[in-house]
């Protein structure tokens, strides 16, 4: 018997089902989190009630899939049962009918789904033992609501047919049943094993890892959207560098980021103490940002070095690797189906990561750097540089980097784009008596270039005069 603190809304779901003489269990990641004494967020319930019956028990619930999952929001449950939603206002609960699955011809979805008869049968189709556990209320039905009203902890029984608790204690990711069968059913489970390992700092059980290595090529059957989602979760995890190393040792990385695998054994010189591959991994490890796109950019910042590597008379160079790297980063972004904004950020970070600072740099040069990188990306670029430095064996910062950051802070209040000018397109058209067209933009850009060189020129009277001068000279 175990004792856990379960949200009242979850207890209401289970009580409502069991009151109708159905079985109901908490399943999935919530069970794992509770056993680890961590906050649980994904509250899923498994039951032998069929979807049509579940729909009648919970108002405003909906069912729009072939896998037996009815969904209902916390706010609707709170209104139906007059129970506070507390911190779950935006939560949507999944209530899923037991099921068994047959045939995975596309390596991702079952060809046939049949309603199951027991929780053990339902758990047997899950991916890993630490995810194949369930919690059952272990008090009489009439006592649940009394306990709930009194705000008392409720006792649960753990259903663990595949010894997930042992693997949880041993910090192991182990497939349920035969690993080959699990990964042939859904090849994305191989990446999911890596992701959970990176999130929890768990190792992958030997037979499970051997099966992943054997079946790695099956990942080619998975959509890039699903691969992207798992990769992003790995990068956002507590141990992203270890996750990437697991992707490599498992044989999955060539099917996800083949460009990165080419960085292995590419030597570097100068201040670098690692080859390009190890430097990339260590840069990711030391990147202070929690943003997965910044972390991805840190991992890929030297992705152009293998293609630009040259060595002459013992001197190693990677001329224009940042330009080549930016092109590769764009291709990777397209392959991973990143959004336009994510792709733009990724390419920007890789393209301009080679920035250098000299105290003799003018304020105009600092403003141009800010404009190239983007105001919203400046801080993230500095975090990438910290990872880059520490990943190369240097200290996190230097006097040059600190001084550059100070000067950037000073210039953030100066004009950094055309919209910061104290005149606009309307002023150009009214001053020159012209209609909207290319000439308006050309004049504004010319004015902005002047202001970029000398921000003191961003005065309305001066700019209006310059509009006339530029108009007459064209």
Q: What does the pLDDT read at residue 86? A: 75
Q: Are 40 and 30 in contact (CB under 8 A)?
A: yes
Looking at the DSSP bridge assignments, the partners of residue 92 are: 73
Q: What does the pLDDT read at residue 112? A: 64
* Mean pLDDT for the stretch of residues 96-117: 71
Please say whether the structural domain 2-168 has been given the CATH code 3.40.190.80: no
* Measured distance CA(138)–CA(2) in Å, rounded: 9
Tens digit of pLDDT for each residue in 249-275? 999 999 999 999 999 999 987 777 889
The pLDDT of residue 140 is above 90: no
Q: What does the pLDDT read at residue 100? A: 79
* Mean pLDDT for the stretch of residues 81-102: 84
The pLDDT of residue 111 is above 80: no
* Measured distance CA(4)–CA(45) in Å, rounded: 16
The pLDDT of residue 139 is above 60: no
Confidence of residue 150 (pLDDT cuts 50, 70, 90): very low
The pLDDT of residue 145 is above 60: no
Q: Is 238 left (phi over 0), alpha (psi -120 to 50) or beta?
A: alpha
Q: What does the pLDDT read at residue 39? A: 86
Identify the residue with better confidence: 270 or 206.
206
Q: What does the pLDDT read at residue 472? A: 77
Q: Is 68 left (phi over 0), alpha (psi -120 to 50) or beta?
A: left
User: What does the domain layout of the chain look like in residue ranges?
Assistant: 2-168, 174-256, 260-411, 419-473
* Mean pLDDT for the stretch of residues 79-99: 87
Looking at the DSSP bridge assignments, the partners of residue 383 are: none
Identify the residue with better confidence: 249 or 111.
249
Dihedral sign from CA coordinates of 294, 299, 304, 305? positive
φ and ψ of 159, to 5 deg: -100, 115
Span 260-411 CATH architecture? Orthogonal Bundle (1.10)
CA 306 distance to own-chain centroid? 26
Q: For the chain, give the percent of residues with pLDDT over 70.
A: 92
Confidence of residue 235 (pLDDT cuts 50, 70, 90): very high
Tens digit of pLDDT for each residue in 35-62? 999 888 889 999 999 999 999 999 999 9
Tens digit of pLDDT for each residue in 318-374? 999 999 999 999 999 999 999 999 999 999 999 999 999 999 999 999 999 999 999
Angle subtended at Cα 38 by Cα 19 and Cα 192, rounded to the nearest 5 degrees: 90
CA distances from 466 to 237, 326, 439, 459 (A): 53, 37, 14, 11
Tens digit of pLDDT for each residue in 388-419? 999 998 898 899 999 999 999 988 888 888 88
- Quote the mean pLDDT of the chain: 90
Q: What does the pLDDT read at residue 339? A: 97
Dihedral sign from CA coordinates of 276, 214, 171, 293? positive
- Closest CA relative to residue 71, chosen from 42, 29, 40, 39: 42
* Measured distance CA(369)–CA(416) in Å, rounded: 10
Q: What does the pLDDT read at residue 24? A: 95
Q: What does the pLDDT read at residue 28? A: 92
pTM: 0.85
* Mean pLDDT for the stretch of residues 107-114: 63
The pLDDT of residue 1 is above 80: no
The pLDDT of residue 102 is above 80: no
SS (H, E, C) the chain: CEEECCCHHHHHHHHHHHHCCCCEEEECHHHHHHHCCCCCCCCEEEECCCHHHHHHHCCCCECCCCCCEEEEEHHHHHHHHCCCCHHHCCCEEEEEECEEEECCCCCCCCCEEEECCCHHHHHCCCCEHHHCCEEEECCCHHHHHHHHHCCCCEEEEEECCCCHHHHHHCCEECECCCHHHHHHHCCHHHHHHHHHHHHHCCEECHHHHHHHHHHHHHHHHCCHHHHHHHHHHHHCCCCHHHHHHHHHHCCCHHHCCHHHHCCCCCCCCCCCCCCHHHHHHHHHHHCCCCCHHHHHHHHHCCCCHHHHCEEECCEEECCCHHHHHHHHHHHHHHHCCCCHHHHHHHHHHHHHCCCCCCCCCCHHHHHHHHHHHCHHHHHHHHHHHHHHHHHCCCCCCCHHHHHHHHHHHHHCCCCCCHHHCCCCHHHHHHHHCCCCCHHHHHHHHHHHHHHHHCHHHCCHHHHHHHHHHHHHHC
| Assigned token pair, 403 | 């001084």
Q: Which of 96-110, 179-193, 270-284 has the lowest mean pLDDT?
A: 96-110
* Measured distance CA(256)–CA(265) in Å, rounded: 19
Looking at the DSSP bridge assignments, the partners of residue 3 are: 155
Q: Which of 101-105, 118-122, 173-177, 297-301 has the lowest mean pLDDT?
A: 101-105
* Measured distance CA(131)–CA(164) in Å, rounded: 7
CA distances from 156 to 1, 139, 187, 257 (A): 6, 8, 33, 44
Q: For the chain, give the percent of residues with pLDDT over 90.
A: 69
CATH of 174-256 given 3.40.50.300, 1.10.110.30, 2.60.40.420, 1.10.3720.10: 1.10.110.30
Confidence of residue 152 (pLDDT cuts 50, 70, 90): very low
Looking at the DSSP bridge assignments, the partners of residue 93 are: 72
Q: What does the pLDDT read at residue 204? A: 97
* Mean pLDDT for the stretch of residues 264-289: 92
Q: What does the pLDDT read at residue 473? A: 74
The pLDDT of residue 219 is above 90: yes
The pLDDT of residue 385 is above 60: yes
């Amino acid at each position: 018997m175990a004792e856990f603190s379960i949200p009242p809304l979850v207890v209401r779901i289970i009580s409502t089902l069991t009151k109708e003489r159905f079985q109901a269990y908490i399943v999935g990641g919530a069970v794992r989190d509770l056993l680890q004494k961590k906050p649980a967020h994904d509250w899923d319930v498994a039951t032998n009630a069929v979807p049509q019956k579940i729909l009648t028990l919970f108002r405003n619930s909906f069912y729009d899939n072939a896998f037996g999952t009815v969904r209902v929001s916390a706010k609707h449950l709170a209104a139906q049962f007059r129970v506070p939603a507390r911190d779950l206002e935006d939560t949507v609960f999944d209530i899923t009918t037991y099921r068994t699955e047959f045939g995975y011809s596309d390596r991702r979805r079952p060809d046939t789904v049949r309603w199951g008869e027991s929780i053990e049968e339902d758990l047997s189709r899950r991916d890993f033992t630490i995810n194949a556990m369930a919690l059952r209320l272990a008090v009489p039905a009439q006592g649940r609501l009394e306990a709930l009203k009194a705000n008392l902890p409720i006792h649960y029984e753990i259903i663990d047919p595949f010894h997930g608790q042992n693997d949880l204690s041993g910090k192991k990711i182990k497939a349920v049943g035969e690993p080959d069968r699990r990964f042939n059913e859904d090849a994305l489970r191989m990446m999911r094993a890596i992701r959970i390992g990176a999130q929890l700092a768990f190792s992958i059980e030997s037979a499970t890892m051997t099966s992943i290595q054997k079946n790695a090529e099956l990942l080619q059957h998975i959509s890039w959207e699903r691969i992207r989602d798992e990769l992003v979760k790995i990068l956002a995890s507590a141990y992203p560098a270890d996750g990437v190393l697991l992707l490599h040792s498992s044989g999955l990385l060539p099917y996800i980021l083949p460009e990165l695998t080419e960085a292995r054994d590419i030597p570097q010189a100068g201040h670098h103490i690692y080859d390009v591959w190890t430097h990339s991994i260590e840069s990711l490890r030391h990147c202070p940002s929690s943003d997965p796109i910044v972390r991805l950019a840190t991992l890929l910042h030297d992705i152009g070095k293998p293609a630009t590597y040259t060595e002459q008379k013992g001197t190693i160079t990677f001329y224009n690797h940042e330009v080549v790297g930016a092109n590769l980063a764009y291709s990777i972004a397209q392959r991973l189906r990143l959004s336009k904004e994510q792709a733009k950020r990724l390419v920007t970070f890789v393209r301009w990561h080679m920035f250098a600072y000299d105290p003799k740099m003018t304020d105009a040069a600092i403003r141009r750097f800010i404009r190239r990188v983007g105001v919203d990306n400046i801080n993230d670029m500095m975090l990438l540089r910290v990872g880059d430095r520490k990943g190369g064996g240097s200290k996190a910062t230097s006097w040059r980097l600190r001084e550059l950051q100070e000067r950037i802070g000073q210039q953030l209040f100066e004009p950094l784009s055309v919209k910061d000018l104290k005149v606009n397109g309307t002023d150009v058209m009214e001053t020159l008596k012209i209609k909207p067209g290319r000439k308006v933009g050309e004049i504004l850009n010319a004015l902005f270039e002047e202001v970029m060189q000398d921000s003191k020129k961003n005065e309305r009277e001066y700019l209006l005069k310059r509009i006339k001068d530029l108009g007459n000279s064209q």
